Structure 1
Amino acid sequence: MQPSHTSDIPRWRKELGAWYWPMLLSLACVILLQVVVRQLWGWNFPFWLVIALYLILAGILSFGLKAYAEGPKKTKRMPHPASQWPVAGPLRYLGRYAIMFTFIPTSLLSIFNPWQLTQQLKQIGGQARVHKRMRDHYEALEHYQNKVSYRLPFDGEWLIFNGGLHRETSHSWDVLAQRYAYDFVKADASFRRHSGAGNRLKHYFCYEEPILAAASGEVVHVQDGIGPAPLVGFGVCDFLARHFAGNHVVIRHAEGEYGVYAHLIKGTIPVQIGDRVAQGDRIGLCGHTGHSSEPHLHFHLQDGESIFSSMGLPIRFETARVNGTVTDTPVEITRGQRVAHIP
């Protein structure tokens, strides 16, 4: 694990700027430009032009600030195994990088959604508080020992699309709550995640699969009532959803260990706040809600109840099959592996 309290501070601040400020600054620039044009020439921008100008400015600023955050010596990252997997849905006909022109622009539009704007502001403030609390303890997380035993949050074999316990494989290293998060999907032998064209939710192998409690615990938060993200198979981010995590459940599995299960199907969550669940109990069905590029389960462990102001924690799973090999001790998993719970 690479971050330390001396090297991680400036990088964290740069990454925070590259992540959020392009949206805010671009919106402010477009509003200012509209005011100037109206005052000088009495002309109002049509809505499509406001959106187009905003996306262009946000894209330019995102690229520039990201380059600044990485610095002259970019962190060498391991090639993502998904670069060798088939692209999901009709988007595959537009090329491997087409999702950059669908998911990223639509995610930038989330700033126009008051719910998601509020959530982004909470995440900014929460990250600042987490960093202040954790700045001298990042390295200790490398050796963190889970307080209870965790199983994989599903039955059958799934593929780890994203996630790992190190910067090079991390789901979102600089989003502190999600530093050790995982995205799970189901895939066939050729890594296809769906049958047919992939433009229907039911085409996806993991859709409607039961999601299970990774350990016993108490339900402390439930978000339900959010419909599926639009245009499945085209990598469109649901910037209109009431929550970027979609329908999700947070369970307190131990003191200082909370599991987050996200992107569940609307109306399939059978638990309520205050309920006790046993390890392996069903807590919902795998879906495609919130900021989801395709149906999948997002799961991570964190040290508090709030997904905005908690620090992500490494998690190692009890007896499992990893790439066909059965383990009899808690195992670290990473992207590209096929994993299955062993009863």
Structure 2
Amino acid sequence: MTTDTQPKKKQWTDRFSNWYYPMIAALLIMFVIDYSVRGLFDYKLARVWTMVIYLGLYFAIAGWLNTIRVPKTERKSHPAENWPTSGPIRHVSRYVMIVTFYPSLLLSSLNPWQLIQQFKQLGGQARIAKRIKGREEEFAEYQTKVSYRLPFDGEWLVFNGGLTQATSHSWDVLTQRYAYDFVQADAEFRRHQHSGARLQHYFCYNQPILAAADGEVVAMVDNIGPAPLVGFAVMDFLCRHFAGNHVIIKHAEGEYGFYAHLVKGSIPLKVGDRVQQGQRIGNCGHTGHSTEPHLHFHLQDGPNLFTAMGLPIRFEHVGEITRGQRVRHQ
């Protein structure tokens, strides 16, 4: 946990070392290099070399920040490392994802809508960090004002997320610090049947997503199509919102549920609607930045995704949950 007694360098890296910061830094450095080469040598870099340099900068910056951010003694392997890789890409190697996932992720910075969102997140991070400075323990020990159920029925697997830095979904993305990604999986942790090249192959795809508590819809997006090439770890760098179709529900004062990556056209709600706990609010999908169908859910202290701080949540009859755990609403 970041505190005022930690070195300033550690505080900075805790707040800002995530994938989009290396992305933005690499993009800015690339612009400087391109401008300098043109000015000094009157030479325009070929697009292929621009991309190669861009990727090299990204991996170098991301690797360096990750090394100084979390000491090796504090790192814990993710249980998903021992689970089957989803989709046709599993027949090659999970390491092939490096040439599908990261390039498509980096291309999102060339999408004007997503680039704006990245800068909004960058500015929002600074505002949140300033607002919670010295209050990190207060947020870590936060107790919700209402009781929350799991946002689905049946058994699901916590693919990502936890309440500690070692297990967190995205510790440095303050809004998503206590977020969770949920999927459905069989006994061998496979998340789909058949080849996994079609959305309908995935167990959780199109499953009902339910309101975790009573509340009021304050924002929603429901017009984004599915991400392309499911099963190949390709991020949708062309969509207009990285969260895909999503709903934000005010469940209590200062407690807003964020439900993301839903199926296009599946949200039977509009802003201002009241919902009851357990009511269907959409279907689990594969929209926005999603490598396979799943539900992203987190609780935040404001209605704005970019300026709200994430809040820890413990669910009815289940309590605290963490990645690798199978959970079911009782």
| Shorter-chain TM-score range | over 0.9
Give the Cα separation in 1 of the matches to 2:171 and 2:225: 28
Give the Cα separation in 1 of the matches to 2:261 and 2:159: 15
Which residue, out of 290, 302, 305, partners 1:304?
302
Verify the 8 A CA contact 1:153 1:214 in the aligned structure 2.
Answer: yes
Distance 1:206 1:118, change over 3 A: same
Matching of residue 95 in structure 1 with residue 93 in structure 2: yes
Distance 1:5 1:224, change over 3 A: farther
2:227 — aligned with what? 229
Give the Cα separation in 2 of the matches to 1:278 and 1:18: 36
Equivalences for 1:153-168 in 2 at 5 Å? 153-168=151-166
Q: Structure 2: which amino acid aligns with 1:235?
A: A
Give the Cα separation in 2 of the matches to 1:12 and 1:241: 33
Matching of residue 262 in structure 1 with residue 270 in structure 2: no
Report the secondary structure of 1:284's partner residue: strand
1:4 — aligned with what? 3
Equivalences for 1:200-215 in 2 at 5 Å? 200-215=198-213
- Following superposition, the deviation at residue 47 of structure 1 comes to 3.1
Give the Cα separation in 1 of the matches to 2:135 and 2:324: 29
Verify the 8 A CA contact 1:85 1:192 in the aligned structure 2.
Answer: yes
Give the Cα separation in 2 of the matches to 1:10 and 1:271: 45
Q: Deviations over 1:19-41 (max 9, x none)?
A: 44432333234334434444566
Distance 1:218 1:86, change over 3 A: same
Matching of residue 13 in structure 1 with residue 1 in structure 2: no
Distance 1:41 1:176, change over 3 A: closer
- Following superposition, the deviation at residue 253 of structure 1 comes to 0.1
Q: Structure 1: which amino acid aligns with 2:24?
A: L
Greater shift in the superposed pair: 241-250 or 108-117: 108-117
Which residue, out of 227, 240, 243, partners 1:242?
240
Report the secondary structure of 1:45's partner residue: coil
Verify the 8 A CA contact 1:18 1:69 in the aligned structure 2.
Answer: no
Give the Cα separation in 1 of the matches to 2:11 and 2:200: 40
1:335 — aligned with what? 323
Distance 1:258 1:33, change over 3 A: same
Matching of residue 181 in structure 1 with residue 179 in structure 2: yes
Q: Normalising to structure 1: TM-score of the pair?
A: 0.90
Number of equivalent positions? 329
Q: Deviations over 1:235-262 (max 9, x none)?
A: 1111211111111100000000000000
Q: Structure 2: which amino acid aligns with 1:181?
A: A
Q: Structure 1: which amino acid aligns with 2:171?
A: W
Report the secondary structure of 1:56's partner residue: helix
Verify the 8 A CA contact 1:187 1:205 in the aligned structure 2.
Answer: yes
Give the Cα separation in 2 of the matches to 1:307 and 1:133: 15
1:24 — aligned with what? 24
Report the secondary structure of 2:72's partner residue: coil
Greater shift in the superposed pair: 12-21 or 222-231: 12-21
Distance 1:17 1:214, change over 3 A: closer
Runs of 4+ aligned structure 1 residues displaced above 6 Å come to none
- Following superposition, the deviation at residue 14 of structure 1 comes to 1.7
- Consecutive unaligned residues of structure 1, counting only runs of 5 or more, are 321-330
Which residue, out of 273, 286, 291, partners 1:275?
273
- Following superposition, the deviation at residue 106 of structure 1 comes to 1.7
